[in-house]
Chains A and B, each alone.
Chain A
Amino acid sequence: MKNNKKQIVEGSHAVAEVIKNCQVDVISAYPITPQTHIVEDLERMKAEGKADFEYIRADSEFAAASIVLGASATGVRTYTATCSQGLLLMTEVLFCIAGLRLPIVLTCANRAVSAPISIWNDQQDAVTLRDSGWLQLYGETNQEVVDLHILAYKLAESMMLPVMVNMDGFVLTHTYEPIEISKESVIKKYLPKYKPPQNTILDVNNPRSLGDFAAPDVYMEIRQELHEDVLSSKKQITKLAQELKKIFGRSIGDNGLFESYKLNDADIVLVAMGSVCGTIKEVIDNQRGKGQKVGLLKVISLRPFPDEEIVEALKKAKYIAVLDKSISMGSEGVLAIDLKRAAYTKLKAKIQSFIIGLGGRDVTEKMIIKIINSVKKQDNKIQFIGE
């Protein structure tokens, strides 16, 4: 195993390492479980003189987001990490960051939202921000999460859009896995130094204002441009995932947007995001052994949502079960809503929303089998699968 560059490390540590190797200039964060290990590791690197970045301790997530906003506006590469209540406290600033077109990368260690208070994993925090203009990518394994961060910077800086990389709290952040963390010298080949567009940054020698008032005659066009750029970032993700494969030899799903697993002949397709896809793949292998044609479509990019590509991948499916670790209260799972919108008039399959794993409830193989069995039934109502 001479050429094996993998090391067994904790997910959070791997993220901290790769952020350092991405040559980030300014980091600001406020610790919150289960994100804490990421920012602790980054602070330690700084304290031990192993990193060049500025680390600014903030007095809240609101301040941390504001600090990276200001730093990014001066034309440097920035990073922050948070989750749950912290992400929600950042909300106002996160909308500003997207509106101001600042290429900030944020790691969200997905955690449930209060109340009742829960420090455990689900994806309610991140999906709640799907309308903000941030691109949202979800990793299944720590290797994928590490690679998504490298892609995220290139994506953010080429589209002038902020990117949120999501990793399931505890399930990924606190888990040790064999991970290859690319070296700075290799990352440099993929991710050159950040050069902001001319005349867009704050510079004392050439004073400009950021965050100006937009009267009704321009506000709408600026928001429309943001929407169109979020849509067109889809092509960019595919392109960057191909480039990443060339340089690092690792792929992110089929095309950076999603991964299809045993989809070709599948009657029943499960659609999900994040770490639960590992368990689903295990169940699919077992069920296929019993002759059941089941497949998985793992969504990596929730924003932009790859409408056409997903519809194309699902066109042969008869039953589609969408598994969400979140819910739009009074409606359905967030991924299910998006999929139904994309499928409108294009797919004939039955699409049903299943809610799983809220507040850290373990998602077992038994639950997934239960979903496979119930999606074939006539009933099309949203279902909570807790046991």
Chain B
Amino acid sequence: MKKLKYNLTVKPGTTTQYKTGGWRTYKPVVDHEACIGCGMCSKVCPEGVCFSTGQKNSKGRVFYDRDLDYCKGCGLCAKHCPVKCIKMVEDYK
């Protein structure tokens, strides 16, 4: 029986192993002090990677952040943030 060097049938891929965040060019950086915790970013995020950290800043606001393992850097959160506390910066790897 022929045994191939490369098995062409593989276990189905899963994003628990493959971190799709590697595709991005820009990454969002959230200014935790300026964030008002409105949650707009989590509502517009197409990847669902914006989340409430549950921590409070010095003004007593619960601030948000991103799961950079899966954020593809589309910049929608920065565009929609009412207080403009998210900056898109080039992501060098």
Given contacts A158-B1, A195-B1, contact A210 B6 (CB under 8 A): no
Contact with B along A84-110 (1 / 0, CB 8 A): 000000000000000111000000000
A91 to B12, CA, bound (A): 27
Would A199 and B9 count as touching, CB distance under 8 A? Answer: yes
Contacts of B10 in A (CB 8 A): 208-209, 212
Contact with A along B36-58 (1 / 0, CB 8 A): 00000000000000000000000
Residue of A nearest to B2 (CB): A160
Contacts of A229 in B (CB 8 A): 2
Would A212 and B6 count as touching, CB distance under 8 A? Answer: no
Would B5 and A208 count as touching, CB distance under 8 A? Answer: no
Contacts of A212 in B (CB 8 A): 8, 10, 13
Asked if A200 CB lies within 8 Å of chain B CBs, one says yes
Would B9 and A208 count as touching, CB distance under 8 A? Answer: yes
Contact with A along B10-49 (1 / 0, CB 8 A): 1111000000000000000000000000000000000000
Would B12 and A197 count as touching, CB distance under 8 A? Answer: no
Would B11 and A207 count as touching, CB distance under 8 A? Answer: yes
Residue of B nearest to A218 (CB): B6
Report the minimal beta-carbon distance from A100 to chain B, rounded to whole angstroms: 6
Contacts of A201 in B (CB 8 A): 9
A222 to B11, CA, bound (A): 18
Would B6 and A209 count as touching, CB distance under 8 A? Answer: no
Report the minimal beta-carbon distance from B30 to chain A, rounded to whole angstroms: 33
Report the minimal beta-carbon distance from B22 to chain A, rounded to whole angstroms: 13
Asked if B83 CB lies within 8 Å of chain A CBs, one says no
Report the minimal beta-carbon distance from A184 to chain B, rounded to whole angstroms: 23
Asked if A362 CB lies within 8 Å of chain B CBs, one says no
In A1-56, which residues have CB < 8 Å from any B CB?
Answer: none
Report the minimal beta-carbon distance from A162 to chain B, rounded to whole angstroms: 13
Report the minimal beta-carbon distance from A291 to chain B, rounded to whole angstroms: 50
User: B9's contact among A195, A209, A218, A221, by CB below 8 Å, is which?
Assistant: A209
User: A207's contact among B3, B7, B8, B12, by CB below 8 Å, is which?
Assistant: B12
Contact with B along A268-288 (1 / 0, CB 8 A): 000000000000000000000
Contact with B along A160-172 (1 / 0, CB 8 A): 1000000000000
Q: Which residues of B contact A (CB under 8 A)?
A: 1-13
25 contacts between A and B (CB under 8 A): A73-B9, A99-B8, A100-B8, A101-B4, A159-B2, A197-B1, A197-B3, A197-B4, A200-B7, A200-B9, A201-B9, A202-B9, A207-B12, A208-B10, A208-B11, A208-B12, A209-B10, A209-B11, A209-B12, A212-B10, A218-B6, A221-B5, A222-B6, A222-B8, A225-B6
